Amino acid sequence: MFSPDLSKPSPCDECVLQARQIYFATQAPETSRWRVVSDQDEGAQITIIRSMSAENILTIEEPARRVTKIQLKEDGSCALISMDSVSDGTRSVFNPPLLMCANTLKSNAPLRSESSMQTVLIESGTARDQGTATRTISIEGMARITTALGTFDCIVVSTHFIGALGKAKIDTKMTIWIAPQIGSIAEKFAEKITILGIFTKNSERFIEKLPQEN
């Protein structure tokens, strides 16, 4: 089983990934199973559903939690269109879509992007707040990990997202372990939400991908 107690990835000056390997490696549509390794729901299994529209928009849905829409562009890059927080009933919309990754991501070359961000109520479309979103993605190096899928030498990718809104600040960090020809096999997620500079909500989770059921 994947262990969240991992040592720092080894440097990899020659590591290169394409955006497709990070976000589109698995042929959509796909329904995959994941196991929560570290969280209050440790041991629970979750389902992630991926589908692709004719307009090359990838929808990634974790029922009752989050729905993410990503645009795959002709130049091979991809950008975040919107993200729904199902439990809060809110949708974050990025205009223009927030660049997630250029066609190629190289080691020692972090990519930073910025876009305007607005949160609306999913049901009514009523605007709640607006501000600026910034995002940085980088390759941290190589790491060998063992998950339910087996042992792999993975390229480790980290992302850091900050949504600076009028009343709230969203600070999200994610680490993704990318296995060759498979894509993401393990993910670490940590989020901190501060409202009016006073109230803070923290969440953290490790998940590992499980083998497909026959």
Q: What is the pLDDT of residues 114-124, one digit of tens each?
A: 999 999 999 99
Per-residue model confidence (pLDDT) at position 42:
86
Dihedrals φ, ψ of 204, to 5°?
A: -150, 145
Distance separating alpha carbons of residues 173 and 158, to the nearest angstrom: 7
Could you tell me the pTM of the whole model?
0.91
Is the confidence at residue 3, as pLDDT, over 90? no
N-terminal to C-terminal alpha carbon distance within the chain = 20
3-state secondary structure of 123: coil
Return the minimum-mean-pLDDT range out of 73-77, 114-118, 192-196, 205-209.
Answer: 192-196
How would you label 82-119 residue by residue, b for 16+ Cβ within 10 Å and e otherwise?
bbbeeeeeebbbbeebbbbbbeebebeeebebebebbb
Mean pLDDT of 133-144: 96
Distance CA 70, CA 23 (A): 9
Average pLDDT over residues 114-138: 95
pLDDT at 39 over 90: no
Q: What is the pLDDT of residue 71?
A: 96
| Full DSSP string of 48-90 | EEEEE-TTSEEEEEETTTEEEEEEEPTTS-EEEEEEEETTTTE
| CATH class of residue range 16-209 | mainly beta
Mean pLDDT to the nearest integer, 152-179:
95
Mean residue pLDDT of the chain comes to 91
pLDDT > 90 fraction of the chain, expressed in percent and rounded:
77
- pLDDT tens string 7-28: 689 999 999 999 989 988 777 7
Q: What is the pLDDT of residue 181?
A: 80
Domain ranges in the chain are 16-209
Q: Look up residue 186 and give its amino acid.
A: A
Q: What is the mean pLDDT of residues 55-80?
A: 95
Could you tell me the pLDDT band of residue 4, with boundaries at 50, 70 and 90? very low
pLDDT the model gives residue 214:
63
Average pLDDT on 56-70 reads 95
Distance CA 123, CA 104 (A): 37
Residue 2 has pLDDT above 70, yes or no: no
What pLDDT, on the 0 to 100 scale, is given for residue 7?
Answer: 66
Instruction: Choose among 150, 172, 162, 45: nearest CA to 114.
Output: 162
**Predicted pLDDT at 74:** 93
Residue range 36-60: mean pLDDT, rounded: 90
Q: How far apart are CA 50 and CA 94, in angstroms?
A: 20
